[in-house]
Amino acid sequence: MKKIVVTTPSFGKFNPELIRQLEDDGYRVVRIVPFSRDALLAEVTDAHALIVGLEKVDEEVLNAAQNLKVIAKHGVGLDNIDLVAAEKRGIPVRNAPGANTQAVADLSFGLMIGLARSIPAANAVTKNGEWKRFDGVSVWEKTLGIVGLGAIGLAMARRAQGFGMKILGYEVMPPRDIEQSLGIVRVPLDELLSESDFVTLHVPLTPQTENLIGEERLRRMKPGAFLINTARGGIVDEAALYRALSEKWIAGAAIDAFVQEPPAGSPLLKLDNVIATPHIGAFTIESNINTSVITAQNVIDILDRT
């Protein structure tokens, strides 16, 4: 019986019949929820497949995994998995691209509107018994800069079209025809930052994108601009972002992804011009179901061949 170890509570959360189907098909599913590193190291020794969320899969885990045939990410970003070590051992790594596209784009656009109209702050003071005026800025017909024109970046462009926005895009991959139909104008990153009223980040965390948005680039942004990060925390230099926000280089930021999660003690959490959410971009019921189905199929496709 082939063994599948699951470390993320998201897998099958809204479609538990998926796990039952795997078991009915002859797989042994072991869930380490809540997550324990020690339990993972013990259970992975005879596992054939590993399904993970944000849990770290490093050299120590891979050294313990003597029979592992596949690592399946319940999501898209692979920065928590040591891809070099996995490749060295001949273990394929699969993710679920596209499964959470609309969920992340929804949150990103919602955070943008929340920043523009101070919605969290207005909600808080009203519930506290105050009746206070908040002078926001319009999203309508403003300029949106999208850093990363993958599936989520394109989904953001579709939403921006409905608000009559001018859309600037930055991407290292060659242009695609769909960009023109969505009204995206490709520009260099520094030009995008200096021209945009809202900048939204949708790139993976890689050595090339780590601290992509640091002090120099934050200073290029308009004083009235807002930054939205629902990608990965390491893409933004958080110390530089704190200075930019506290010294009013930019107007505000919405952060769904931090370098350290949870971001205990982060000074960013104390700023009034910051909206912070607990890395919830992918967490809708629909997205979770889609991701679980794709992840299960990724595992089955490889285990059925071995």
- Active-site residues: which are they? 232, 261, 279
DSSP H helix total and E strand total for the chain: 12, 12
HSE (side-chain half, CA atoms, 13 Å) at 143: 18
Does the N-terminal peptide bond of residue 262 adopt cis geometry, omega within 30 degrees of 0? yes
Nearest to 105 by CA among 138, 163, 150, 166: 150
How far apart CA 190 and CA 106 sit, in angstroms, is: 26
Whether residue 70 contacts residue 50, with contact meaning beta carbons closer than 8 Å, is answered with yes
Whether residue 157 contacts residue 183, with contact meaning beta carbons closer than 8 Å, is answered with yes
